[in-house]
């Protein structure tokens, strides 16, 4: 079937209406032909003999009557070895390649190959002639960065197949045939190491979706201990501007203990991506000894890049995430910011003159957000292995007010809410996750009972603080005052974490468990205190010791020594000194 | 010869529509009315129906007026001859100098490939301690001044422009009051900076649609100069007027507003301008300082709110001071580390602000009638000195002198330990023989 064609009959912003002949489908890709340029677009609605298309480029200079060529394909990404370490725009064009060819500015109407066709990969077959395989099952693998990249039966092939032929170990380019498989009807399919997948359709080549339980260790104490995220789970980070969403995501992208990280910079500042681009190739991933870039893919559609491509970029990112998950890996997708994606939907909806919902967002906002987060999960794969895709998105609520459609729709579907607070950010208490308002439905590696007790102290100490504002320190009892100091202590030595200190920036599970016990010991001790000045002094000293402790490497003599000083100080001041000994 | 149309179908707000063919999206047209000629730009096309926003407004446009399409999008001249010149929002001279028609360049061009950007690492010195010490301005930064109208934000802009060691200054005036415009001109003139400045000036009495063009014209010219290796400082005042002009057009076009009447693409539109700030690899740079007045002193108002989500920090101007708390330069850590600035820079920055925060609490307590302890008295003394010798906008001293002054103020108010400064720094910087 030759692809359909059409011509432009209307233009408004990045939306064009097109009269067409022949068959077209919803979400099909089309190209507007403008001289040498081919402007990529996507059909978003089909009406009476006209198609409405969002254009992924600037529409400047287009005319009524300009030709349109439909592709017959849905908006897709290319999957295969070589994705790791790449920096793509929202439509999977490699940005460094674009820069090399076109210089400082992003050209219009250009598409570049997402993967290198010529590069050879060392293929090792796993499946044998005669094996029965289904979609997602392993045919062989090639080494990519830190692990074996699985070459799988493409996800769009339904049913069972018999392996007819499989390539011998050797060097192959991604488009060379590495296997021939025969379907039940006897038709043979040639399989290469790469295939395309439509971004808006979830990959479902797995056996089962399982409830996520195992914690994903982020090495951020306030998250892992108090508001944990599970492998295969979801979380959101809403917060007003400047509260620390992006910095927190960058911290997670560095320190989270996962195999692959996908960063989707969606409609935010280009400068922030540049930091990742320039620094990740230099930074070592302590788990593997390789650079962080080798486990990372960056999808970068920043705020001044075309809005429609911004809408596509989160789908591109999640599809790449699903692909690596299918290999039995733990993948973390970080999207900053999902509000910009929602705004892109809003702009599109406005141009389509759809009936607007709250704050002019489209009525389907909620279901789109839900569908997106639903693509996360812990899966039992067709091979019997497990893979997970965890999704965390920032939300940038208008006016910093969480009572708005995007935050509310997100809160309905995620498993953990890490709400950032303007006050904490202003007080430089980072990460500025609000410890009393945030929540998580997942389980921490620390006993829930202990966490509840600590949270209770935090809450009560906070109440005392509120009251002190009114009645002053004089009007507060020493017991209450101690409670207040304890909550401040917990906050400053455990909840807060210095992202710029090499040691404090990342606290692993073993260390968190160990340190939390000590923190708890302080919280549980009834200190023998005569005056408020003495109380303040004691807690100042405790705080200083714990902060020094946080800065000491766990296997260093300092670590031991400081811990001894802490123990000593607690003992000296605890009321039941005799009982403790 | 391009075709001329003289049947305007519809006039609504500042938007007109005509039936025309062979028109390009965002193309310019010239309308001749009894008041004179005006430019207009295509903003929507539906078959033969072409909608245009009229730069000088639709007042006095009659349905028989002549519309001539120019076959080109919005462009602006670019050459060294622009230096010292003043243009309006349509890019025409508003001084008495000659019309410049050479070397036309398109405005609102494509964005810079993120992989061609570099991490900014150069400080722009302003000799204002609240900026240099506490929230350093960095080459390629985009940063607005948030304030209510009536604050001296334009004075502050002009002063930074004069002080900053940049190659050239482009001032984009958007609905600027005429006397403010004159003040800018006089300040830059008396500071000897006019010859390295270019003005795109839309004053409060000029057509509002024209103001929409000012940021694009300013930034297009800035970009060309930056590519030629120049460090360009672009001043945009007041971006709230720009947003309001957009709101007006959006309402005319019957777009569904998202928030307090502003269009849903406000963020995208503002970002398209602010993201032009850049430090080019192997070439020059664009730094953007803007003014965003906050209606009702409300930072959650859509304009400051969307701006804050785009820019790299903000300066709050409150009661004539740059407020040390709300203000933030998100790029300061790129330029104030020990190997880039003096080694006590970060310590002074953090330490003095923490003490100032304690002073604020004490002042609150005093206002509520609580007893003042000895420590409180010290803080009160400190707060007063900090305000008059650091925060006051009349203070005009280089960074190093400001850091020294910081130590002096602390030494006059506290013992070294009370400042919680690191011992090593105290040894090196604490002033000898001071009387507390
Ligand atoms: N964990 C942290 N440690 C130290 N400083 C931080 C931390 N998080 C944030 N900050 C400070 O706050 C500033 C703003 O943080 P960030 O850019 O992450 O905000 P954001 O919530 O992403 O804002 P926006 O919505 O405007 O993008 C940073 O430039 C930095 O100065
Ligand atoms: Mg951010």
> Does residue B374 belong to the interface with chain A, where contact is any CB pair within 8 Å?
no
Give yes or no for residue A435 CB within 6 A of ligand 1.
Answer: no
Our answer on whether the CB atom of A239 is closer than 6 Å to any ligand 1 atom is: yes
Q: Map out the domains of chain B with their CATH numbers.
A: 4-73 (2.40.10.170), 76-333 (3.40.50.12240), 345-429 (no CATH)
Rounded Cα gap, residues B144 and B236, in angstroms: 9
* Nearest-neighbour CA in chain A from B406: distance (Å): 21
* Nearest CB to A350; choose among B112, B256, B302: B256
pLDDT digits (tens, 9 = 90+) for B269-281: 999 999 999 999 8
CB contact under 8 A, B23 and A63: yes
pLDDT band at B79, cuts 50/70/90? very high
pLDDT for the residue numbered B249: 87
pLDDT, position A576: 56
Cis before A337? omega within 30: yes
Under DSSP, the state recorded for B58 is S
Which residues are near ligand 2, the ion (C-beta closer than 5 Å)? A 245-246
Report, as an integer, the average pLDDT of B43-67.
92
Q: DSSP character for B270?
A: H
CA-based nearest distance A423→chain B, Å:
10
The Cα B387–Cα A297 span in angstroms is 48
* Number of Cβ within a 10 Å radius of residue B281: 12
pLDDT in tens, A295-350: 999 999 999 999 999 999 999 999 999 999 999 999 999 999 999 999 999 999 98
A172 lines ligand 1 (CB under 6 A): no
What tokens were used for A581? 């000994």
Residue located via tokens 């004691």: A538
If you measure from the C-alpha of residue A271 to the centroid of ligand 2, how many angstroms do you get, rounded to a whole number?
11
Taking alpha carbons only, the member of A86, A557, A428 closest to residue A276 is A86
Which of B114, B216, B278, B295 would you mutate first to test chain A, the one with the most A CBs within 10 A?
Answer: B114
Q: Is A472 within 8 Å of B305 when comparing Cβ atoms?
A: no
Beta strands in A313-406 (DSSP E): 330-336, 377-381, 386-395
B338 pLDDT tier (thresholds 50, 70, 90): confident
CA torsion, ordered A17, A21, A27, A30, to nearest 10 deg:
-80
Please give the pLDDT value at position A575.
64
| A497 and A551 Cβ atoms separated by less than 8 Å | no
> How would you label A286-318 residue by residue, b for 16+ Cβ within 10 Å and e otherwise?
eeeeebbbbbbbbbbbbbbbbbbbbbbbbbbbb
Q: Look at ligand 1, atom 5, and give the residue with the nearest C-alpha.
A: A430
CB contact (8 A) between residue B111 and residue A270: yes
A279 vs B432 pLDDT, higher one: A279
DSSP lists the bridge partners of residue B8 as B18
- For A98, A271, B110, the CA distances from A108, given in Å and listed in that order, are 11, 21, 8
- Shortest alpha-carbon distance between residue A248 and chain B (Å): 14
Mean pLDDT of B59-64: 90
Task: Answer whether A354's CB lies under 8 Å from A363's CB.
Answer: yes
Cβ contact A494:A221 at 8 Å: yes
| Ligand 2 geometric centre to CA of B311 (Å) | 10
Cβ(A387) to ligand 1 under 6 A?
no
SS3 A272: helix
> Which residue is closest in CA terms to ligand 1's atom 9?
A244
Q: Give the C-alpha distances (Å, rounded to integers) separating A492 from A111, A349, A497, A525, A544.
A: 50, 45, 8, 18, 10
DSSP per residue, A72-120: EEESEEEESTT-TT-EE-TTS-BHHHHHHHHTTBPPSS----SS-SS-E
Residue B372's CB: how many other CB atoms inside 10 A?
13
Ligand 1 pocket, A388 CB below 6 A? no
Pocket test for ligand 1, best of A243, A244, A251 (most atoms within 8 A of CB): A244
Asked if B337 is an interface residue toward chain A (Cβ–Cβ < 8 A), one would say no
pLDDT band at B131 (very low <50, low <70, confident <90, very high): very high
Find the CB nearest A95 among B48, B115, B264. B115
Q: Do B23 and A64 touch (CB under 8 A)?
A: yes
Q: Which residues of A525-542 are buried (b: 16+ CB within 10 A; e: fewer)?
A: bebebeebeebeebbeeb
Residue B381, helix vs strand vs coil: helix
A340 and B267: CB-CB below 8 Å?
yes
> So what's the pLDDT on residue B1?
53
Q: Which helix (H) or strand (E) holds B412?
A: helix B399-413
- DSSP for B186-227, written as a single string: HHHHHTT-GGGEEEEEEETTS-HHHHTTHHHHHHHHHHHHHH
Mean pLDDT for B57-63 is 89
Strand stretches in A289-349, DSSP E: 296-301, 330-336
CA B343 to chain centre: 30
* DSSP annotation string for A167-229: PPSEEEETTS--EEEE-TTS-EEEE-S-EEEETTS----EEEEE---SB---S-HIIIIIS--
B282-304 mean pLDDT: 95
Helix, strand, or coil (residue A302): coil
- Greater pLDDT, B51 or B422: B51
- B347-365: pLDDT as tens digits: 999 889 989 988 998 998 8
Choose the closest CB to A347 out of B45, B268, B305.
Answer: B268
- Pocket of ligand 1 contains residue A102 by CB under 6 Å: no
Whether ligand 1 lies within 6 angstroms of the CB of A499 is answered as yes
B309 Cβ inside 6 Å of ligand 1: yes
What are the pLDDT digits (tens) for B205-241?
999 889 999 999 999 999 999 999 999 999 999 999 9
Domains of chain A: 5-74 (2.40.10.170), 78-107+207-440 (3.40.50.300), 120-193 (2.40.50.100), 448-579 (1.10.1140.10)
Show the tokens assigned to B287: 């730094």
Query: Comparing C-alpha atoms, which of A46, A7, A13 is closest to residue A27?
Result: A46
- For residue A489, the model assigns a pLDDT of 95
Q: What is the dihedral of CA A501, A505, A511, A513, to 10 degrees?
A: 130
Give contacts of B288 with chain A, Cβ < 8 Å. Answer: none
**Burial classification of residue B102, based on how many CB atoms lie within 10 Å of its CB (0-12 exposed, 13-18 middle, 19 or more buried):** exposed
Q: Which of A87, A95, A399 sits opposite B305 (nearest CB)?
A: A399
Measure B258 CA to nearest chain A CA, in Å: 5
The confidence score (pLDDT) of residue A402 equals 96
Instruction: Render pLDDT for A411-453 as a digit per residue (tens, 0 to 9).
Output: 999 999 999 999 899 888 899 999 999 999 999 999 999 999 9
Give the 3-state secondary structure of residue A521. Answer: helix
Return d(Cα B143, Cα B307) in angstroms, integer: 9
The residues pairing with A210 across neighbouring beta strands, listed in sequence order, are A378
Tokens of B65: 């007026």
CB contact under 8 A, A59 and B25: yes
Helix (H) or strand (E) holding B181: helix B178-190
Provide the pairing of β-strand A260-266 with A296-301: parallel
User: B199 to chain A nearest CA, in Å?
Assistant: 25
C-alpha to C-alpha distance for A464 and A186, rounded to whole angstroms: 76
Q: Are B360 and B386 in contact (CB under 8 A)?
A: no
Q: What is the DSSP string of B27-53?
A: EEEEEEETTEEEEEEEEEEETTEEEEE
Least CB-CB distance to A304: which of B44, B275, B302? B275
Segments of A451-553 assigned E as strands: none
Residue B74 makes CB contacts below 8 A (sequence gap 6+) with B26, B28, B41, B91, B106, B107, B108, B213, B216
Average pLDDT for residues B81-100, to the nearest whole number? 94
Percent of residues, chain B, with pLDDT higher than 70: 99
A419 lines ligand 1 (CB under 6 A): no
Cβ of B264 within 8 Å of Cβ of A274? The answer is no
pLDDT tens digits, one per residue of A499-549: 888 899 999 999 999 999 999 999 999 998 888 889 988 998 898 899 889
Question: Crossing angle for the helix pair A478-490 and A532-551, nearest 10 degrees?
Answer: 10
Q: Please report the atom of ligand 1 found closest to the CA of residue A247.
A: 18
Closest residue, chain B, to A243 (C-alpha) = B309
Burial (CB count within 10 angstroms: exposed 0-12, middle 13-18, buried 19+), residue A109? middle
In chain A, how long is the greatest CA-to-CA distance? Answer: 92
Instruction: Establish if B111 touches chain A: CB-CB under 8 angstroms.
Output: yes
Residue A2 is given by DSSP the state: P
The predicted structure's pLDDT at residue B254: 83
Tokens of B320: 């004539």
- pLDDT below 50 — which residues of chain A? 577-581
Are B112 and A105 in contact (CB < 8 Å)?
yes
Q: A72: Cβ below 6 Å to ligand 1?
A: no
Are residues B25 and A399, on separate chains, in Cβ contact within 8 Å?
A: no
Query: Which class for B64: exposed (0-12), middle (13-18), buried (19 or more C-beta within 10 A)?
Result: exposed
Contacts of A372 (CB under 8 A, 6+ apart): A314, A315, A318, A338, A391, A393
What pLDDT, on a 0 to 100 scale, did the predictor assign at position A579? 46
Predicted confidence (pLDDT) per residue in B156-189, tens digit: 999 999 999 899 999 999 999 999 999 999 999 9
Residues, chain A: 581
**CA A284 – CA A277 distance, rounded (Å):** 14
What's the complex ipTM? 0.92
């Amino acid at each position: 079937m030759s692809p359909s064609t059409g011509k432009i009959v209307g233009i408004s912003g990045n939306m064009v209406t097109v009269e067409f002949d022949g068959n077209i489908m919803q979400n099909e890709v089309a190209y507007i032909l403008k001289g040498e340029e081919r402007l990529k677009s996507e059909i978003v609605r089909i009406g009476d003999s006209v198609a409405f298309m969002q254009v992924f480029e600037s529409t400047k200079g287009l005319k009524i009557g300009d030709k349109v060529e439909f592709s017959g394909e849905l908006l897709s990404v290319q999957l295969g070895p070589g994705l790791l370490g790449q920096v793509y725009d929202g439509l999977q064009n490699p940005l460094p390649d674009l820069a090399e060819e076109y210089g400082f500015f992003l050209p219009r109407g250009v598409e570049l190959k997402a993967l290198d066709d010529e590069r050879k990969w060392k293929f090792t077959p796993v499946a044998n002639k005669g094996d029965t395989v289904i979609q997602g099952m392993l045919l062989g693998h090639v080494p990519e960065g830190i692990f074996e990249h699985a070459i799988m039966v493409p996800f769009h092939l339904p049913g069972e197949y018999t392996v007819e032929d499989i390539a011998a170990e050797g060097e192959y380019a991604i488009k060379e045939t590495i296997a021939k498989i025969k379907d039940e009807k006897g038709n043979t399919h040639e399989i290469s190491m790469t295939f395309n997948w439509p971004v808006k359709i979830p990959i479902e080549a797995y056996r089962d979706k399982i409830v996520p339980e195992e914690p994903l260790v982020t090495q951020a104490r306030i998250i892992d201990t108090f508001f944990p995220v599970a492998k295969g789970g979801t979380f959101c980070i809403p917060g007003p501007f400047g509260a620390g969403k992006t910095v927190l995501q960058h911290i997670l992208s560095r320190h989270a203990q996962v195999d692959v990280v996908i960063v989707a910079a969606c409609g935010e500042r280009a400068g922030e991506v540049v930091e990742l681009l320039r620094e990740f190739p230099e930074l070592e991933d302590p788990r593997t000894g390789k650079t962080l870039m080798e486990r990372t893919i960056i999808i970068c559609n920043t705020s001044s890049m075309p809005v429609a491509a911004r809408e596509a970029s989160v789908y591109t990112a999640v599809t790449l995430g699903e692909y690596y998950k299918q290999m039995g890996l733990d993948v973390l997708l970080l999207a900053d910011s999902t509000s910009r994606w929602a705004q892109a939907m809003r702009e599109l909806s406005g141009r389509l003159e759809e009936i607007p919902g709250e704050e002019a967002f489209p009525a389907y906002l909620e279901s789109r957000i839900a569908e997106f987060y639903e693509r996360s999960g812990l899966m039992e794969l067709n091979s019997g292995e497990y893979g997970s895709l965890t999704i965390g998105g920032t939300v940038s609520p208008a006016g910093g007010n969480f009572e708005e459609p995007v935050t509310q729709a997100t809160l309905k579907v995620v498993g953990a809410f890490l709400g950032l607070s303007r006050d904490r950010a202003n007080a430089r208490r980072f990460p500025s996750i609000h410890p009393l308002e945030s929540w998580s439905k997942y389980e921490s590696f620390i006993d829930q009972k202990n966490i509840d007790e600590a949270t209770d102290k935090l809450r009560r100490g906070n109440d005392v603080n509120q009251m002190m504002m009114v009645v002053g320190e004089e009007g507060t009892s020493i017991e209450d005052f101690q409670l207040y100091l304890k909550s401040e202590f917990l906050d400053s030595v455990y909840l807060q974490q210095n992202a710029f200190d090499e040691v404090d920036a990342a606290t692993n599970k073993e260390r968190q468990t160990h340190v939390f016990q000590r923190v708890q010991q302080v919280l549980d001790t009834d200190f023998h205190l005569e005056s408020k000045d003495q109380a303040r002094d004691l807690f100042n000293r405790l705080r200083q010791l714990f902060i020094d402790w946080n800065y000491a490497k766990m296997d260093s003599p300092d670590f031991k020594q400081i811990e001894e000083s802490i123990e000593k100080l607690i003992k000296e001041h605890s009321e039941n000194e005799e009982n403790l000994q | 010869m391009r075709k001329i149309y003289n049947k305007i179908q519809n006039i609504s707000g500042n938007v007109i529509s005509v039936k025309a063919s062979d028109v390009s999206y965002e193309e310019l047209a010239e309308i001749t009315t009894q008041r004179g000629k005006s430019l207009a730009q295509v903003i929507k096309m539906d078959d033969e129906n072409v909608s245009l926003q009229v730069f000088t407004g639709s007042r006095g446009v009659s349905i028989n007026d002549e519309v001539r399409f120019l076959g080109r999008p919005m462009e602006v001249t670019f050459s060294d001859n622009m230096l010292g010149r003043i243009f309006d929002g349509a890019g025409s001279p508003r001084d008495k100098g000659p019309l410049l028609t050479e070397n036309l360049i398109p405005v609102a061009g494509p964005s810079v490939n993120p992989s061609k950007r570099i991490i900014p690492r150069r400080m722009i010195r302003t000799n204002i301690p609240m900026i240099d010490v506490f929230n350093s301005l960095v080459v390629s930064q985009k940063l607005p001044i948030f304030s209510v109208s009536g604050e001296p934000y334009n004075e502050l802009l002009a002063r930074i422009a004069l002080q900053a060691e940049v190659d050239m200054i482009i001032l984009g005036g958007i609905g600027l009051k005429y006397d403010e415009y004159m003040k800018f001109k006089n300040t830059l003139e008396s500071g000897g900076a006019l010859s390295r400045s270019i003005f795109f000036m839309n004053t409060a009495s000029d057509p509002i649609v024209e103001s929409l063009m000012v940021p694009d014209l300013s930034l297009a010219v800035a970009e060309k100069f930056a590519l030629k290796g120049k460090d360009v400082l672009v001043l945009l005042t007041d971006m709230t007027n720009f947003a309001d002009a957009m709101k007006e057009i959006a309402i005319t076009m019957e777009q569904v507003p998202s928030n307090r009447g502003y269009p849903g693409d406000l963020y995208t539109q503002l970002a398209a301008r602010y993201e032009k700030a850049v430090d080019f690899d192997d070439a020059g740079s664009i730094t953007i300082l803007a003014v965003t007045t906050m209606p009702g002193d409300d930072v959650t108002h859509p304009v400051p709110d969307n701006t804050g989500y785009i820019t790299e920090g903000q300066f709050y101007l409150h009661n004539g001071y740059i407020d040390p708390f709300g203000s933030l330069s998100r790029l300061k850590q790129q330029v104030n580390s020990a190997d880039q600035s003096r080694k006590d820079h970060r310590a002074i920055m953090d330490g003095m602000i923490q003490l100032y925060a304690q002073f604020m609490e004490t002042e609150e307590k005093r206002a509520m009638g609580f007893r003042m302890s000895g420590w409180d008295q010290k803080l009160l003394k400190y707060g007063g000195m900090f305000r008059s010798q650091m925060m006051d906008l009349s203070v005009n001293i280089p960074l190093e002198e400001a850091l020294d002054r910081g130590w002096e103020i602390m030494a006059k108010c506290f013992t070294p330990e009370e400042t919680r400064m690191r011992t090593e720094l105290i040894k090196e910087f604490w002033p000898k023989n001071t009387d507390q």
